[in-house]
């Protein structure tokens, strides 16, 4: 099995490739190529199961709360009919021209009692139906190589944070939160409401931008120094903190204009290793939201498969825990 994880950037596309051998031995490497090139190369491994964890900008997300009175029991056909009805609504009323990718159901309650499923259950039934679409351009890049990729059982395409949102809900009991990714050449923030995608936005304040601020303030040499090393030089510490405060103010001012800030934020990024950044970033967020930035780079509920994982690997690690 191979997992390909997209670090989306128009200018600097990159994919992390995780080659999983027998006994969960994992070989990891990076390819600085765009999606079209990655899909083309993946054909060499067409007999293996291949997972593509792609950026959320390639998908469109819909959720429906379903209430039914089923005295004679709920059937699979009823679920198919409800799904078809909601898909028709999405495509007709909302003008979505993307292609249907997948659907799933959770939060099932029968007569007020939580249940693992609703099939053959009778009475008052509630469940949440989730429908995910993928944009035509992305789908066509796969179809150009594999034919109808949706009929290929060896290929799975998912939003990269999909299993992470479920993990945070099921294991940390979080239903409303922000999921923030900051990488070298990209940054995005995902708003999760009631355990599902409400909105996804990208911004230009990524790690490279912070590096440039360090350079402009003549403190580049302190970019990789430890928290203690920076503290030894009071002038350098002041400049580092001031630079991060400026970055943080830009970031949260932008966020405040886009959304009402109302919840904790989970940060997935290599920058969580920077003690000064986390301290200042968290302090600034509390000024805006009275909530916390939570560096999400480890959980004792996850099997690491005997491997050291970087903070930016969390989505892949969670996926592998669900599937291996």
**Where are the chain's structural domains?**
2-57+137-169+301-323, 59-133, 175-295
Tens digit of each residue's pLDDT (9 = 90 or more) over 271-300: 888 888 899 899 988 888 888 899 998 888
- Cross-strand pairs, 228: none
Confidence of residue 268 (pLDDT cuts 50, 70, 90): very high
For 175-295, which CATH superfamily applies? Answer: ATPase, nucleotide binding domain (3.30.420.40)
Cβ neighbors of 234 (< 8 A, separation 6 or more) are none
Percent share of the chain, pLDDT over 90: 46
The reply to whether CATH 3.30.1490 applies to domain 59-133 is: yes
Long-range contacts at 103-110 (CB < 8 A, ≥ 24 apart): 103/129, 103/130, 103/131, 103/132, 104/130, 105/79, 105/129, 105/130, 106/130, 106/195, 107/195
| The pTM of the whole model exceeds 0.85 | yes
Distance, CA of 127 to CA of 111 (rounded, Å): 12
């Amino acid at each position: 099995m191979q997992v390909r994880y997209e670090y989306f950037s128009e200018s600097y596309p990159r994919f992390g490739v995780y080659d999983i051998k027998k006994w969960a031995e994992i070989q990891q490497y990076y390819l600085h190529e765009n999606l079209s090139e990655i899909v083309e190369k993946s054909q060499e491994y067409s007999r293996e199961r291949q997972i593509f964890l792609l950026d959320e900008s390639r998908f469109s997300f819909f959720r429906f709360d379903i209430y039914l009175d089923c005295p004679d029991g709920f059937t699979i056909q009823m679920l198919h009919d409800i799904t078809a009805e909601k898909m028709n609504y999405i495509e007709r009323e909302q003008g979505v021209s993307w292609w249907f990718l997948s659907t799933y159901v959770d939060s099932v309650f029968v007569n007020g009692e939580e249940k693992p499923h609703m099939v053959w259950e009778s009475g008052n039934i509630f469940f949440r139906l989730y429908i995910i679409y993928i944009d035509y351009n992305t789908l066509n890049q796969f179809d150009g190589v594999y034919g109808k990729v949706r009929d290929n059982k060896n290929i799975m395409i998912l939003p990269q944070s999909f299993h992470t949102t479920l993990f945070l809900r099921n294991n940390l009991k979080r239903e409303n939160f922000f999921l923030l990714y900051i990488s070298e050449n990209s940054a995005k923030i995902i708003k999760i409401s009631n355990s599902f995608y409400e909105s996804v936005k990208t911004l230009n304040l990524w790690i490279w931008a912070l590096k440039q601020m360090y350079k402009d303030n003549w403190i580049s040499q302190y970019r990789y120094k430890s928290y203690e090393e920076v503290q030894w030089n009071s002038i350098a510490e002041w400049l580092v903190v001031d630079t991060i405060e400026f970055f943080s103010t830009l970031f949260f001012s932008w966020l405040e204009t886009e959304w009402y800030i109302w919840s904790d934020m989970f940060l997935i990024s290599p920058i969580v290793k920077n003690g000064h950044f986390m301290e200042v970033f968290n302090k600034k967020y509390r000024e805006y939201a009275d909530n916390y930035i939570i560096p999400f780079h480890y959980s004792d509920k996850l099997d690491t498969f005997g491997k050291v994982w970087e903070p930016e690997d969390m989505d892949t690690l969670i996926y592998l825990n669900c599937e291996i």
